[in-house]
Structure 1
């Protein structure tokens, strides 16, 4: 699947939003990718996951024992990546602000984990999710996401693959341009802090 084909899927599902958004990272942007919309169609989600799985180098795919995704955004694509790779897929969540395994999910000591995200901007959420997996005894062998919004700058400390890279500008709170600041801020993600 080419980047143009991936973006066509986002546009077809009205997942590419324009306005003034405060991202989970705390940064501001005039664009937001509502991956839940592109993933709401099971066939489309499966196609995107298979395309993403194929981009992960074969030697890394062979090492993966389990897929872990952070809730909420990573749950659907994490599940579909598990299906594409033939591996169990679980998720970590933040009931009290810190990622943890719940619902009877476990990671065995030394189990080799692929971390799956929907969108990576700064990598903060990914690193926090990875820390929770390591704390449980897992070994992160690779990470991937549908979308890399970092401008190629993110370093997760493990091999990282994305299906598409989008370089929409993002701004710190004190750097927001006047024309963007004039638009009411929306916080469309699942992290409402």
Structure 2
């Protein structure tokens, strides 16, 4: 898939939003990619994740395990793993840190790909990779649907993406006037408390 084709999938799904958004990193942005509008459509998700699997396999070769961060990475991780013929597992927060739970394990010698939905600063990706590093296996790289850092996020491993965007982000105390004039919205899942309405 070309980058234009990927972005057209987001547009036609209503997943490319404009306004004043608080990202999971705490930064502000005039654009938010609501990937859950993609993931509610199995056919659209399958199309994008098949393309991501093909790109990852071309770059990294055989993959045995796909590991993703919960919550946003679970669906693309699973679907990408399906096309790679790999196992799909995920890390989730335990005492504030990502960890493999639920009896998930990575065997010695396994070739591991970390799969994310969207990479902005790379913070959650690096946290996920740190959790994976506590287990046997070899991380060959990372993959995501959209790299909105414009290629600037440093994960410590090679990253492949279906689309690479350079969407501006701003510190909350350094907003351009047109963004500051809009009410901020926090559409992501990080920071939701257990039992709070989603």
Range into which the TM-score falls when normalised by the shorter chain: over 0.9
Distance 2:158 2:4 in 1: 24
Mark the runs of 5 or more structure 1 residues left unpaired by the alignment. none
Paired residue for 2:7? 7
- Say which structure is richer in helix: 1
Distance 1:191 1:76 in 2: 16
- Contact preservation (8 Å) 2:53, 2:81: no
Q: List per-residue Cα deviations over 1:51-73 (Å, max 9, x = no partner).
A: 112222536122x2100010111
TM-score, normalised on structure 1? 0.94
- Contact preservation (8 Å) 2:57, 2:84: no
Mark the runs of 5 or more structure 2 residues left unpaired by the alignment. 193-198
Q: List per-residue Cα deviations over 1:117-142 (Å, max 9, x = no partner).
A: 00001111100000001112332111
Paired residue for 2:153? 154
Distance 1:192 1:78 in 2: 21
TM-score, normalised on structure 2? 0.91
Distance 1:56 1:152 in 2: 16
Paired residue for 1:142? 141
Pairs aligned (count): 192
Paired residue for 1:100? 99
Structure 1 residue 24: Cα displacement: 1.1
